[in-house]
Structure 1
Amino acid sequence: MPQAPTAAAPPLHDSEAELAIGGMTCASCSSRIEKKLNRLDGVTASVNLATERAHVSYAEGREVAELIATVEKLGYSAEELRPPDPDTAQTTAAAEPAESEADALRHRFTVSAVLALPVVLLAMIPALQFDNWQWLSLTLAAPVVVWGGLPFHRAAWTNARHGAATMDTLVSVGTLAAFGWSLWALFLGDAGMPGMRHGFDLTVSRADAAGTIYLEVAAGVVAFILLGRWLEARAKRKAGAALHALLDLGAKDVSLLRGGTEVRVPVSRLAVGDRFAVRPGETIATDGTVVTGTSAVDTSMLTGESASQDATEGDTVTGGCLNLSGRLVVEATRVGTDTRLARIARLVENAQTGKAEVQRLADRISAVFVPAVLLIAAGTLGAWLGLTGDVTAAFTAAVAVLIIACPCALGLATPTALMVGTGRGAQLGILIKGPEVLESTRKIDTVVLDKTGTITTGRMTLLATHTTEGYEETDLLRLAGAVEHASEHPVARAVADAATQAVGTLPPVTDFRNVPGLGVLGTVEGHRVLAGREDLLDDAGIGLPETLVEALAAARQEGRTAVAVAVDGTACGVLAVADAVKETSADAVTELRALGLTPVLLTGDHRSVAEAVAAEVGIEPGHVYAEVLPEDKVAVVERLRAEGRAVAMVGDGVNDAAALATSDLGLAMGTGTDAAIEAGDLTLVRGDLRVAAVAIRLARRTLTTIKGNLGWAFGYNVAALPLAAAGLLNPMIAGAAMAFSSVFVVTNSLRLKTFT
């Protein structure tokens, strides 16, 4: 995609690294790490809170160990991750930390909740309060605050030593302040007296300071936030489940053929050129070419379609697909991280690591948010003391401000939606390269469609057969197909393939001769057969009857190649051959229009061919660009953009790569060349143009979810902080609201898993 000009050229990055970051709890954490790494010369880093990863590009002279040390100096852990490889168990290992984190949080929350519940009930229901109930509350609340809240206190202390403040700082300071106040009131004030009672209010309390305890706040907030953290960890694991499932599709071992015998070995030992057997029900171990055998192959993990594909000798197969019926012998063409499955995983993972511009704004805000909240809390305390002189109310309001103001939802808003959206896209055969792609789909109003291989099948096909009276179609196809079978020309191959399908095995041809630029001729079953352009028959002194002349004219008008056929000196038929339009292309154009896009056809073919294809799929003649040279496709895209249009380009060939890169949004057909796929922003694994509309809808839905998440996160804090500062929120209720705001963001993102 085009980049905005900058004042200075960016540093050249020679290497890239993926770091797993431990210890991050909110957007402030990820922002601090990202800022520190980006301050290093020649380093560009993007830190993702939801995936707990940092994608770092660094110039020559830098070492990964230096990057890790920089992160560790901030109080976080870091280790380098290797590229995803479906041939190894790395995906399982990668999932283990998330599972162990969720299990640890569940254990800590369960114990804390069991202890905190009686404390909260005793505080909220005065009728349950008995003599010395406050000392039972202290006994139960102390382990919750100290042990249950230990992760918050530890992180707050680590951040404080580095001169930073995060969400953990707010939680730790708030709960310790409430607990400390309670200890003072119990041991030095009047709260420890037998028979002490106090009520519960959703707003600040006006009770006597020396007789007020906040043990339910200290214990309840810790329990609520642990619950939120546990639910977040579970939801994040679900959000990344699509990628893990994709990688787990890879086979773990394979039947390698050596000396005519099968040897079962780990997939990691496969090399390019090795041959291996795949039995029915087994997963194809790696990308390769079928050497022997015929079978149906389930390619749904790549295409999202349930229909199987036939594979026979010479066909290519993809690692991770399931062999359904026959035994295949496959020669490996790609192994390890070069396989299609591994490349898909890299694309998905890179997309999940990146950041949309809207998230960068949220990160900039969250970086200053926590210090600002500390100031607001101090200001709230001072304002209440100055205006009312009520120490208890001032303290309650200040603690509520500290606890309600969690920037965690801001940090989770984009990455969780990206994780789910890109994972769902991979399941549907749509690969989103990065979050900036989502923002591009919002403004697109024009979609440029390459013809060959995108709207059409990309291969010549016999579309119509015209015969003279008294001549059977099958006889014509048998004789013409036999003589064309000896030629390698694409038009000849189309006729021969159609004849084979119609009549089966074709008879042999003798005295075969190829006439360059005109056609072929030969003897089949004792008959002299000519097949080619009209000029070939003219040179042989063979005229065409009126019916065949009309058929020739009609074929040319429709942009098709007409093959005239003569048998034993008499013209007997015309075969119309063309690059057939895919059955789904017309529906795809309709769906693109429904998204508010203007479809444009771009091709190097003759205008008559282009306009015929455009008419068939529903593209207006005024939106057809024909006879465009490959190097001029970029100029067409630039011209459309100069007219003020936001242009998406869909293509599949090497000659489309530059146009894909120049457009505002490039959609590469996965059935096309590697160059086109690398240049595109979205890759459509299937060769079905309808997926382009699905991809744009998914991208837009993901962006809408991100905006909804950010809107909630911003709106929640904007509304909650004034309420807390005004004394309208009890700190415990504030803690519950803060915890569930993050859960809401993650749950909202998980709705993308149901996208169809």
Structure 2
Amino acid sequence: MKQKYSVKGMTCSACESHVYNSVCKLPGVSNVEVNLLTNSMNVEFDEHQTNDTLIIKAVKDGGYQASLFEEGLIDSDELVGLKKRLIYCFIALGLLMYVSMSAMFNYPIPSFIKDNSYTNIIFQVIFLIPILILKKEYFINGFKNLIHFDPTMDSLIALGAGAAIVYSVYSVVLTLTGTMMEMHLVHNVYFESAGMIITLISFGKYLEARSKKKTTDAISKLLELAPDVACRINDGKEEIVKISQLMINDKVLVKANETIPVDGKIIQGFSSVDESMITGESLPIEKGVDSLVIGGTNNLQGSFIYQVTKTVEDSTLAKIIELVEEASSSKAPMTRAIDKVVKYFVPTVIIIALLTFGYWMLVGNGLNFAITSAIAVLVISCPCALGLATPVAIMVSTGVGATNGILIKSASVLENENNIDVVVFDKTGTLTQGKARVSDVYSDSLSNEEVIRIIASLEKGSSHVLADAFIQKAKELDVELVEITDFESLSGLGIKGNVLDQDYLVGNLRMIKENKIDFSDYQDQINDYVAKGKTLVFLAKQNKLVGLVSIFDDIKLTSKQAIQRLKEMKIKTVMLTGDLKAAAKAINQQLELDEVIAEVLPQDKESVIKRLQEQGNNVMMVGDGINDAPALVRSDVGVAIGKGNDIAIDAADVILMKDDMRDIVSSIELSKKTILNIKENLFWAFIYNIIGIPIAAGVFYNLFGLRLDAMIGSLCMSLSSVCVVSNALRLKRFKPYYKKENKKVKKEIMIDGMMCAMCKKHVEEALNSLANTNATVNLEAKKAIVETELDDSVLQGVIEKAGYKVVGIENV
């Protein structure tokens, strides 16, 4: 069983580790993932050995609050509470400092407070007490964890502030017993230091909480996308219900400018839908009957009725949120190494503080000097900066990826992507449109219609990607399909079956060769089609070749752009296809990949990936079909197209919500920026502690007189983790390279389908309707000259929306 919990009270990675250790000790618990940023915990456990009550109790016994998950993110109410308590702390601190500094400065204050040391100290204690009450969790959790030999940052704060208070009380006792003169008392109490340490650290924690909330903005925005209610059609009547009440096959009405509640399929109406919040696609998408719609997207025009295909729990939006949260909770190998450092960091700091105290006592600098130096060591040390360095960057980057239609399943994927040096592409549906169409039909004994009738009848029972092409061609030729018998799918080869009492084979050249069918009479046609990069489908009857069909699948414009960008990044590109070598080579003349591996059976794709890895490469595999799943799993990083098969998506590490190959590049670039950001965070966190702790300990005091006050140390500690989080937030500015603002570029667009002056007018109007775009169309040359800042995909989209086909786009 897997259960999610909210955990409150964690302030640093040591706290995260403490909660983890507390729950791991329970019987039946197999896996625990604690997320400091989202204040949540996922636990996998055997419900026969443990339960929610025991898990929640284990967390509470460790000094934290736990409950079944409702809302793990830092919410506004929690921030308001933190802010309110912080304001009260600053008011009390202001009064405390005003009293404690009265002996040093001449400002208005009653003489009985200024001139009487005991009265002065009594008022200091009075103003310190509210601070201690407001921030009592530092002491409760800190000392509790210390007793359990699992100290956290709270332990450092409790020891530092507690030592200042204890020493101050000790000084008062010395004065009362006559051991120390009363005139020195005010200078030997550190109640104001204790108050300052606690308040400044609380200030840092508030800033950190605000910054951490920004790192979860992506998830928060996703949570806000789905509406609360939907308009359900029940027996012809409209009723408003909560989206959680919607069931599969329910009919839902969506009006203009409304948000689609859950996933479904349109059964009535037509509209234009903005899916940018889910897929990152900038252009609205037209939707009609049988079109699929995604919950959380916006209906721009008209109204339609659709049938629910997924409940709110299983919707695309819910899966995206789940993926982003799981990725944020997961730990990269780099994080695990840092966790080990953090585990020993706090105990090491306590030992250094004790050694500092002992050293200064031994050399005779006095109790005051020794204890203040030890306190400075405790409060300047910051395990938070170390612990936050990796998770905040991962949280931000996975959120940014999601808002751009790139779903990254785990933190380790980000780390693996940074090392990718080979990208392997499946061809059909990945580099190509995946909308195969019949190009040529040839037979020396049958009519074209008869060839299509037989193949389409057989393909009707097939799940192969080319089946739709034949069925569509049959519709175009108005050919009636016939019933088949003895149907059998031949993996990697084709299909066979009985049509009109005749046995037929339909498949590729490998199938023809394995069945020893003579194809010499068709060799000229085969050579011609292959030279043009077309896929061949053979029709054989009783071991005799009776038909040849060529299939063509248009290459995506974004494929070539992605390949060019990958080459610029010094990443090798490979195409993996079952096509004939000559056909694959012809296609590659357009794409210009570094290597083409052709005539590969679906079951052999995985072995190709393995061979590339054995050559020392870190391999990314990009695919969208069932037969790509083994290769996706084998690769270092598997990438699936969001519109692809569910099995491929489940097997992949990265999911592209848009059918845009350039997002592969964006995913790799995001990974590289994330890893760089993590390294920057770790560098500054380590440098801060490496420099700060020795200065606080007084290592440079004898040489340069350099010594750090505990109050300055507490401020530095507070701001160090804020700096790390702020650096990670820079990742929010990441944009896919093709979306960055550019100056106007002159482009030549080759367009197919323009026949007359009205066609020219339609294309010009469509292009010139775009922002910052000027276009002129040459009807005779079938092209448009465009000056624009917009991306090629936007230009292509608006032309195809007008009813014409883009053949190519080039910068001129």
| TM-score of the aligned structures, taking structure 2 as reference length | 0.74
Q: How does 1:98-497 map to 2 (within 5 A)?
A: 98-117=75-94, 119-120=96-97, 123=101, 126-128=104-106, 132-133=113-114, 135=120, 138=124, 141-143=127-129, 145-160=131-146, 162-185=148-171, 188-189=174-175, 211-461=187-437
Q: Contact 1:430–1:695 at 8 Å: present in 2 too?
A: yes
Query: Compared with structure 1, are the counterparts of its residues 359 and 309 closer, same or farther at alpha carbon in structure 2 (3 Å cutoff)?
Result: same
Query: Compared with structure 1, are the counterparts of its residues 576 and 638 closer, same or farther at alpha carbon in structure 2 (3 Å cutoff)?
Result: closer
Number of equivalent positions: 659
C-alpha separation between the residues in 2 aligned to 1:342 and 1:714?
A: 38
Q: Which residue of 2 aligns with 1:589?
A: 563
Secondary structure of 1:458's counterpart equals coil
Query: Compared with structure 1, are the counterparts of its residues 184 and 39 closer, same or farther at alpha carbon in structure 2 (3 Å cutoff)?
Result: closer
C-alpha separation between the residues in 1 aligned to 2:7 and 2:102?
A: 40
C-alpha separation between the residues in 2 aligned to 1:637 and 1:629?
A: 13
Shift in Å, 1:312: 1.0
Which of the residues 650, 675, 685 maps onto 2:647? 675
Shift in Å, 1:140: 6.7
1:715 and 2:701 correspond: no
C-alpha separation between the residues in 2 aligned to 1:403 and 1:371?
A: 13
Q: Which residue of 2 aligns with 1:633?
A: 605
Deviations 1:158-181 (Å, cap 9, x if unpaired)? 324544322112112211322333
Q: Which residue of 2 aligns with 1:749?
A: 728
Deviations 1:470-504 (Å, cap 9, x if unpaired)? xxxxxxxxx99xx99x968788976998999xxxx
Query: Compared with structure 1, are the counterparts of its residues 53 and 290 closer, same or farther at alpha carbon in structure 2 (3 Å cutoff)?
Result: same
Aligned letter for 2:37? A
Secondary structure of 1:262's counterpart equals strand
Secondary structure of 2:397's counterpart equals helix
Query: Compared with structure 1, are the counterparts of its residues 492 and 229 closer, same or farther at alpha carbon in structure 2 (3 Å cutoff)?
Result: closer
Q: Contact 1:101–1:233 at 8 Å: present in 2 too?
A: no
Q: Contact 1:560–1:578 at 8 Å: present in 2 too?
A: yes
Query: Compared with structure 1, are the counterparts of its residues 746 and 191 closer, same or farther at alpha carbon in structure 2 (3 Å cutoff)?
Result: farther
Secondary structure of 1:79's counterpart equals strand
C-alpha separation between the residues in 2 aligned to 1:509 and 1:577?
A: 19
Shift in Å, 1:94: 4.5
Structure 2 runs not aligned, ≥5 long = 442-447, 460-464, 486-493, 495-522, 538-547, 702-706, 736-812
Shift in Å, 1:71: 2.3
Query: Compared with structure 1, are the counterparts of its residues 561 and 393 closer, same or farther at alpha carbon in structure 2 (3 Å cutoff)?
Result: closer
Q: Which residue of 2 aligns with 1:730?
A: 709
1:578 and 2:552 correspond: yes
Aligned letter for 2:607? A
Q: Contact 1:209–1:391 at 8 Å: present in 2 too?
A: no
Q: Which residue of 2 aligns with 1:70?
A: 58
Query: Compared with structure 1, are the counterparts of its residues 128 and 744 closer, same or farther at alpha carbon in structure 2 (3 Å cutoff)?
Result: farther
Aligned letter for 1:102? L
Aligned letter for 1:611? K
Deviations 1:613-652 (Å, cap 9, x if unpaired)? 22211213xx111111111000000010111111111111
Q: How does 1:640-655 map to 2 (within 5 A)?
A: 640-655=612-627
Secondary structure of 1:265's counterpart equals strand
C-alpha separation between the residues in 2 aligned to 1:373 and 1:305?
A: 50
Secondary structure of 2:175's counterpart equals coil
Q: Which residue of 1 aligns with 2:789?
A: none
Deviations 1:104-123 (Å, cap 9, x if unpaired)? 21111112223324655774
Q: Contact 1:51–1:415 at 8 Å: present in 2 too?
A: no
C-alpha separation between the residues in 2 aligned to 1:98 and 1:411?
A: 22
C-alpha separation between the residues in 2 aligned to 1:196 and 1:754?
A: 59
Q: Which residue of 2 aligns with 1:663?
A: 635
Aligned letter for 1:50? L
Q: How does 1:529-544 map to 2 (within 5 A)?
A: none
Aligned letter for 1:17? Q
Aligned letter for 1:281? N
Q: How does 1:594-609 map to 2 (within 5 A)?
A: 594-609=568-583
Aligned letter for 2:385? A
Q: Which residue of 1 aligns with 2:67?
A: 79
Q: Contact 2:253–2:303 at 8 Å: present in 1 too?
A: yes
C-alpha separation between the residues in 2 aligned to 1:143 and 1:428?
A: 50
C-alpha separation between the residues in 2 aligned to 1:732 and 1:464?
A: 82
Secondary structure of 2:41's counterpart equals strand
C-alpha separation between the residues in 2 aligned to 1:498 and 1:487?
A: 8
Query: Compared with structure 1, are the counterparts of its residues 236 and 463 closer, same or farther at alpha carbon in structure 2 (3 Å cutoff)?
Result: farther
C-alpha separation between the residues in 2 aligned to 1:183 and 1:515?
A: 96
Which of the residues 581, 584, 605 maps onto 1:610? 584
Secondary structure of 1:580's counterpart equals coil
Query: Compared with structure 1, are the counterparts of its residues 126 and 631 closer, same or farther at alpha carbon in structure 2 (3 Å cutoff)?
Result: same
Aligned letter for 1:38? C
CA RMSD of aligned residues (A): 3.7
Query: Compared with structure 1, are the counterparts of its residues 577 and 125 closer, same or farther at alpha carbon in structure 2 (3 Å cutoff)?
Result: farther
Tell me which of the two structures has the higher relative contact order, counting C-alpha pairs closer than 8 angstroms and 6 or more residues apart.
1
**Percent identical residues:** 35
Query: Compared with structure 1, are the counterparts of its residues 428 and 125 closer, same or farther at alpha carbon in structure 2 (3 Å cutoff)?
Result: farther
Shift in Å, 1:102: 1.6
Query: Compared with structure 1, are the counterparts of its residues 343 and 515 closer, same or farther at alpha carbon in structure 2 (3 Å cutoff)?
Result: closer
Q: Contact 2:410–2:653 at 8 Å: present in 1 too?
A: yes
Query: Compared with structure 1, are the counterparts of its residues 161 and 221 closer, same or farther at alpha carbon in structure 2 (3 Å cutoff)?
Result: same
Query: Compared with structure 1, are the counterparts of its residues 176 and 451 closer, same or farther at alpha carbon in structure 2 (3 Å cutoff)?
Result: same
Secondary structure of 1:329's counterpart equals strand
Q: Contact 1:286–1:319 at 8 Å: present in 2 too?
A: yes
Query: Compared with structure 1, are the counterparts of its residues 266 and 391 closer, same or farther at alpha carbon in structure 2 (3 Å cutoff)?
Result: same
Shift in Å, 1:512: 9.7
Deviations 1:10-42 (Å, cap 9, x if unpaired)? xxxxx2222222222222221122223334455
C-alpha separation between the residues in 1 aligned to 2:643 and 2:480?
A: 39
Q: Contact 1:116–1:140 at 8 Å: present in 2 too?
A: no
Query: Compared with structure 1, are the counterparts of its residues 509 and 188 closer, same or farther at alpha carbon in structure 2 (3 Å cutoff)?
Result: closer
